[in-house]
Amino acid sequence: MYEWIKGYSRVEYSEQAERLDFGKRSSFRMEKMELESSPPGMTAAAQYFTAGNAWLSEVYRIGIPAQDERIRQLILTEIAPHFADVKQCIREGSVETIYLQELKPESRQLFGDTQTGILPVLEDLYRHHDMSDRISGVKRTIINYMVNPDALEPYEAPDTETLQNLLEIAYSDLPDGEYNVMPLGWFFDENLRHSAALRFFAGFVPHLMLRVDEDTGEVILLQMSGKEFARKVLLNSARPQPLRRKDSHLYVDMGHRVVYAIDLSGQYPVSNWQELTEKQAYWLKEGMNFNDFNHETAEPVPANIGFFYDQDSIQSIVDRINQELEDIREQN
């Protein structure tokens, strides 16, 4: 392995998958902001946050954490005036995030005419401007590689101190303390150590991780954090348990303390998850064994909460449901 790649030094073990908590995240409102004027020029911070709209997509939306008053003022002064659509997310009475979309025509022109110290970093970060493969829905197998910042030669980008401070302060306030960027045209090889963008971020971010497509070697995501990354290991008890029948109901352990109860009575064989006519998600009580679960006494998961699972897992459940239906038919 390359000398600028290092292994995990911290491992986190979990005996059970934690129950997902949607309580605090559910109460918020979006508030549109009206900004009267456009700035006469474009700073390095503004160029950094307008690159997505200028190069990648006209509908590219940026969200910048804005809980810190200094950062909020910087966003509203240097960055937000370049966008026609500016909204702030208010949660529990405080501004949480400012969302920016629809780059103004004059700002698009400014982006192309302005040379700042961040431009070479952006040109390296987005080596091409085609994002179609990122939204194709193709399943990937991802390998994580942790970067050793000390093994990279620092990249000095002039006049980017304000941008660095913004990134350090704004994203350190997030619950997980992580900030992610999606490079385009990066491949995991020895030459990547010379990347201007990777070296730039390594100059002020203590922990960096590359998420790499195992089959193609393409770098899908660059994760950055002020906290050390940990390798999370689920012990055997945290793994989803085998499906279990109780009378006419089939119980499916989905992980994260979520159990689906599927009523098989009157159900026809299905080809996909959506064809199940009677299914309900329930919370598995804290400390309860899946073998003791009973949907009649369990707490239902609210209907407005959705879950995402990989297609292979869902298909295996569908196959098992069809097998159970076949067994019921033969018994009758």
pLDDT per residue over 214-256, tens digit each? 899 999 999 999 888 887 655 444 455 778 888 889 998 877 7
Q: How far is CA 230 from CA 12, 15, 220, in A?
A: 6, 16, 19
Specify the amino acid at residue 323: Q
Question: In whole angstroms, what is the distance from residue 332 CA to residue 329 CA?
Answer: 5
Higher pLDDT, 332 or 192: 192
Question: In whole angstroms, what is the distance from residue 13 CA to residue 95 CA?
Answer: 35
Q: What is the pLDDT of residue 190?
A: 97
Whether the predicted pLDDT of 16 surpasses 60: no
- Residue 159 main-chain phi, psi, to 5 deg: 60, 35
Mean per-residue pLDDT over the chain, rounded: 85
Question: In whole angstroms, what is the distance from residue 309 CA to residue 293 CA?
Answer: 21
Looking at 72-76, 118-122, 194-198, 323-327, which range is the least confident one? 323-327
Q: How many CA atoms lie within 13 A of 242 on its CB side?
A: 1
Q: What is the pLDDT of residue 217?
A: 95
Q: What is the pLDDT of residue 23?
A: 47
- Average pLDDT estimate for 179-189: 95
pLDDT tens-digit readout, 262-281 = 998 888 888 887 788 888 88
How much of the chain, in percent, has pLDDT values that exceed 90?
A: 52
Burial class (CB in 10 A: 0-12, 13-18, 19+), 215: exposed
Specify the amino acid at residue 57: S
Higher pLDDT, 317 or 218: 218
Q: How many CA atoms lie within 13 A of 120 on its CB side?
A: 13
Q: Is the pTM of this model over 0.85?
A: no
- Average pLDDT estimate for 61-77: 93
Whether the predicted pLDDT of 164 surpasses 70: yes
Nearest to 181 by CA among 125, 251, 110, 239: 125
